[in-house]
Amino acid sequence: MPSGTTLVTGIGVLVTNDPALGEGPLGLVREAALVLDGERVAWAGPAGRAPTADARVDAGGRAALPGFVDSHTHLVFDGDRTEEFGARMSGRPYAAGGIRTTVAATRAAGDERLHANVARYVAEALRQGTTVVETKSGYGLSPGEEARALRIAAAHTDETTFLGAHIVPPEYEDDPAGYVALVTGPMLDACAPYARWVDVFCERGAFDGDQARAILTAGAARGLVPRVHANQLSYGPGVRLAVELDAASADHCTHLTDEDVDALAQGRTVATLLPGAEFSTRAPWPDARRLLDAGATVALSTDCNPGSSFTSSMPFCIALAVREMGMTPDEAVWAATAGGAAALRRTDVGRLAPGARADLLLLDAPSPVHLAYRPGVPLVSAVWRRGARVH
């Protein structure tokens, strides 16, 4: 843990995500400074009014943002699905069953290899400005393998999600009800100690609404808060079930009826959009504009996984959301920071205000709009996590 205070000054524009500190929903402060004290932000405001500190960093006019909060990834895996991606780009559609390839490779991998894989992708995300990563099990699909995945995940992040209900594994192909009984019984017993959240892939070819309800309810009874893979590949009951169960997040939201949109606007479940998945499966984009205009809270996340979205880049997702999903640059930046925090029910991250965790990044650019204006360019030039400069 860093000791003493650090003044980060010379910030061209600071995104605080606190409307009390600056203009608009992003709480923008121009010619700004921040004071970091240990793991926390001690002060944020105009540079001319900044208090003194033990150390000083000059941002040289760069934009500063809260670290990105990636609230949806699948990093505990082994194996490679390059061929599947190539085949899909040659015209074959994406189906949920491709997950089985990764299940076989992950089951065969040793703990050390899985730890190294998670560490590699967390570090890759960090270099691109992501300071909080949620990650899921879901490539083990047995009590022992799912618990192993969550133990490994928990060594790298506090935001761990039990996704035993990712797909029905081959050995239960003829007995899906038996698999739901396993997930809600012995598998949940083995996994609950290592997880904060419970998730279900509610989709044709995965789990239907009744199965999803049984699994999420069982998880909630053990203190795990629901989140749902909902309405990705087709219309279905996932989004409304998520809102009904007060899930923290309904993720994907690609195929929504007006009733789904109304439910998200009225409940407190965040709509988490994952444009890397639509990019990598050549699927229709989720309509962020429709959700925002209805009043829903929208988050952006990478869905980083080896099958349907093998990117750890939040800047890439921001650029897609602006170009393809009707978001303004400011809305996309908010969704990738404060939106992600909301999807994880966190108030300590996703903003830069006194008391918040000192997670921030500097952009080699004068404005956060450059994240969409200069797609594909590595603009993140410095990252602090918990007050320590890590990139």
Please indicate if the annotation marks 115 as binding a ligand.
Answer: no
Cβ 252 to Zn ion shortest distance, Å: 8
User: Quick check: 383 and 8 in contact, CB under 8 A?
Assistant: no
Residue closer to Zn ion (CB basis): 18 or 303: 303
Tell me whether residue 129 or residue 306 sits nearer to Zn ion (CB atom): 306
Residue 293 among known ligand-binding residues:
no
What is the contact mask toward Zn ion in residues 265 to 304, using x (rule: CB under 5 A)?
--------------------------------------x-
55-58 and 5-14 strand pairing:
parallel
Place of tokens 């009014």: 49
**DSSP code at position 309:** B
| C-beta closer to Zn ion: residue 128 or 137 | 137
How far apart CA 219 and CA 185 sit, in angstroms, is 10
Angle ∠(383,384,385) on CA atoms, nearest 5: 120
Task: Please say whether the beta carbons of 164 and 188 come within 8 A.
Answer: yes
70 binds Zn ion (CB under 5 A): no
> Residues 87, 194: contact at Cβ < 8 Å?
no
Residues 6+ apart with CB under 8 A from 286: 252, 253, 254, 256, 273, 274, 275, 278, 325
- Rounded to a whole number of angstroms, the minimum distance from the CB of residue 99 to Zn ion is 10
- Give CA separation, 391 vs 28, 88, 161, 329, in Å: 24, 35, 27, 24
Residue whose CB is less far from Zn ion, 22 or 339: 339
Cβ at position 342, least distance to Zn ion in Å:
18
Ligand-binding annotation for 166, yes or no, is yes
Nearer to Zn ion, 122 or 363 (CB): 122
**Beta carbon of residue 228, minimum distance to Zn ion (angstroms, whole number):** 10
Check whether 307 is labelled as a binding-site residue: yes
Rounded Cα gap, residues 363 and 117, in angstroms: 27
Cα(265)–Cα(297) distance, integer angstroms: 7
Is 81 one of the annotated binding-site residues?
A: yes
- Shortest separation between residue 138's beta carbon and Zn ion, angstroms: 8
Cβ proximity to Zn ion: between 39 and 84 the closer is 84
- Extract the tokens encoding 69: 């909060």
| Residue the block writes with tokens 């204006």 | 373
- CB closer to Zn ion, 148 vs 166: 166
> Please, what is the minimum distance in Å from the beta carbon of residue 171 to Zn ion?
22
Q: Consult the annotation and say whether 252 binds a ligand.
A: no
Query: Residue 41 CB, nearest distance to Zn ion (Å)?
Result: 31
Residues in contact with Zn ion, total (CB under 5 A)?
1
57, 8 contact by CB (below 8 A): yes
Nearest-CB residue to Zn ion? 303
Token couple for 260: 């789904």
What CA–CA distance (Å, rounded) separates 32 from 317?
A: 27
Question: Which residues does the annotation place in the binding site for 4-imidazolone-5-propanoate?
Answer: 81, 139, 166, 232, 308
Residue ranges at the known binding site for Fe(3+): 72, 74, 229, 303
List, as residue ranges, the binding site: 72, 74, 81, 139, 166, 229, 232, 303, 305, 307-308
User: Where along the sequence are the contacts to Zn ion (CB under 5 A)?
Assistant: 303
